Amino acid sequence: MDDKTIATMNDAEFDALVEQFIERGEDRVTPQTFLQVMTDVAEQRSQHEVELSGRVVNGEIIFDLPAPLPVGASTLYVGDTKVTLRLRMENSPA
């Protein structure tokens, strides 16, 4: 699995790592310990927060640079996922 960390793996890579671990057979871990580690990993994945700032220019979102993630006009990249934002401008009722 290269030099990736669990936090940077996609779901398929993480699932493959877990399967390899289960099939190893050596260094057996109790189910309680395994589930506790999986819970800790899940909590670490959900604790990483990223804040992006920017402005809307001619209908496109222009993110401020430098940004903590790779970004483009109305686009950001999270791991192997490209996120394209399409916003509608609406007037609030008076």
DSSP E strands, 1-94: 54-57, 60-63, 71-72, 75-78, 81-84
Q: Residue 7 has what pLDDT?
A: 74
Both 42 and 58 in a single domain?
A: no
Q: Residue 64 has what pLDDT?
A: 93
1 assigned to some structural domain: no
Task: State which residues form the domain around 72.
Answer: 54-84
Both 10 and 42 in a single domain?
A: yes
Is residue 65 within 8 Å of residue 34, measured between CB atoms?
Answer: no
pTM: 0.46
Both 66 and 39 in a single domain?
A: no
Both 41 and 60 in a single domain?
A: no
Both 16 and 41 in a single domain?
A: yes
30 assigned to some structural domain: yes
| Domain count for the chain | 2
39 assigned to some structural domain: yes
The Cα 85–Cα 87 span in angstroms is 6
In the block, tokens 């993480």 appear at 14
93 assigned to some structural domain: no
In the predicted model, residues of the chain with pLDDT beneath 70 are 1-3, 23-28, 45-47, 94
